[in-house]
Structures are given as C-alpha cells and as structure tokens.
Structure 1
Amino acid sequence: MLKILIPIFDRRGAAEAARHSVFLFSEHCVSEVEILEVLEDVAIERTSAFWSEEELREQSQRHLSRALSETCAILDNAGVPYTSHYMCGPFVRSVSRCVESGHADMVVVDASHLGMLRKLGMIMKVWRLRAAPVTLLH
C-alpha cells in the first residue's frame, strides 16, 4: 500500500490531487495521504515591493489554510486517512525533503490551474525527485 504526498503550494489548492487520491484509496492502492503545505519565501516575489513581508505572509497563510480545508474536506468525505503539516522554503526542495524523510512513496501534484509554461517548468523541477514517482495532474 502506498503513502501519497499531496503538496499545496498556492491558493488554488490541490482538489484534483485529493480526488485522484480518493480514487486510488477506493481501489485499495493507497493506505494514507500526507498533505504538505509549502510556504514559500514571500520576500522574493515582486509584490514585496508594495506590501510588507508580514502582510504577504499572512495573506499566503490565509489562502493556503482555505486550500488545505478544501483538500481535507474531500478526503474526509471519502474516509481517506491523512495527516497534514507545513514546511517553509522552495516548493521542490520542501517536497524532496518530505519524500526523503520517508513520508511518501508517491507525489501527486495538482497542476490543473497552471499555464502550460508553468506546468513545463514544474515538470522539469519535480523531475529531479528521483526518490519517488511524481504524478502531475493537468
């Protein structure tokens, strides 16, 4: 039985990844889901020129908590066991740290809301995760 890691990295959340995990759970392929909130450094974004870092961090956490609750609701409705935690840092580095520490056998990323170039960039970054297979949902 697999343990799946679902990273949440922006305000749109990971609803498609949660639905995919529910399907795999119903097929008896998944035993547990790990949800990872990735809080990236807001100081490197362009918006930091207009708002303080604290305001940006609060806004990011508010959006991520909304996305987390939506993802958890999907898993709760299906009875899928899950745990959640958060990490600060770049997306790929945070996901790879979580995989290397044994929290997951497989990573499912919801990229359905990303543009084509951003998806391609994410594929190239996440492709470096050799420790676990990565499914990019689009």
Structure 2
Amino acid sequence: MKKILVPFDGSHNALRAVRYAATAVQEKPTLELELLHVLDPMSLRSHATLTNEEIHDLYASEADRVLQPARQILDQAGIPYQARYRVGAAASEIATQVHEAGCDGVVMGTRGMGPIANVMIGSVATRVVHLVEVPVILIK
C-alpha cells in the first residue's frame, strides 16, 4: 500500500491539494493519506510559564484548528487518513515526516509566488522538492 503525505497550512492551494489527493484515493483505494500541519515553534518567552504538557496541548489544539477544513473534506468523502503535526521549519519537518512515515509521495499546495520572489526567498514547496527523494505533486 502506498502512502501519500499531504502537508496542510490552511491556504486555498492546500485545500485544492487535499481535494486532489482525495480524488486520487477514490480512484485508487489502496492509497493511504496522511495530513500534516507544521507549526512554528513558540518563542522561548512564551514557554517560560508553561509546562511541557501545556505546550503540547497548545500545539495540538492549533494543529487541530488548522487541519479542520481538510478533515472535513476527507470525512465527507469517506476517505480514511491519519492527521499529524510537527513543530519546526516547514520544509525540513515535511521531509522528516516523509522519511519517518515511509511516504511514497507528497501532494502539496503552493502559494504560486512569481519567479523573482521564489528566487529571492524560496518557497516551502521548492525546498521540499529538493529535500525528499519521492515524487512531489504541486497544486496551484
């Protein structure tokens, strides 16, 4: 069975990527889907008064909030999936998840930056393409 990772940041293009992946699973039910939301780490100042459990709960709550529209699409289509979150730099965390979960491919949205902005600051999608050794489908 092949596993497809769908990174989800809540953007319109990420929603299109979820719909694309859902269609792929409907056409080939042996595919497994894994949703991933990557959160930015909290600043050290905001961690000062929180326990590790409280920090984990905050991350989990925020990830659940962001993933809700993607979950709704997959739930309505009756498509099974795993939902996860990671904390850190988006591209490297996506690549780590691909490796650790044994994913066979990635379907992700891109914000569609123009070539000049992409060269100057790069994009998560571009970095993921370079970091992983599995096919990546970019949805605009």
Per the shorter chain, which TM-score range? 0.7 to 0.9
Aligned to 2:88: 89
Aligned to 1:125: 127
Counterparts of 1:1-138 in structure 2 under 5 Å?
A: 1-8=1-8, 10-12=9-11, 14-28=14-28, 31-43=31-43, 53=46, 64-111=63-110, 113=111, 115-116=113-114, 117=117, 121-138=123-140
Q: Whose helix fraction is larger, Structure 1's or Structure 2's? A: 2
* Distance change in 2, residues 1:32/1:64 (3 Å): same
TM-score normalised to the size of structure 2?
A: 0.72
- 1:92 and 1:25 map into 2 onto residues whose CA distance is 24
Contact 1:24–1:30 at 8 Å: present in 2 too? no
Report Cα offsets for 1:16-73 as digits up to 9, x if no partner: 1110011101211652110111012354xxxxxxxx746xx99987664333011011
Aligned length: 127
Rg larger in structure: 2
- 2:30 and 2:22 map into 1 onto residues whose CA distance is 9
- Percent same amino acid among aligned pairs? 28
> Which range is displaced more, 64-73 or 76-85?
64-73
RMSD (CA atoms): 3.0
TM-score normalised to the size of structure 1?
A: 0.73
Pairwise CA distance, 1:126 = 1.5
| 5+ residue gaps, structure 2 | 48-54
* Distance change in 2, residues 1:102/1:61 (3 Å): closer
- 2:102 and 2:75 map into 1 onto residues whose CA distance is 20
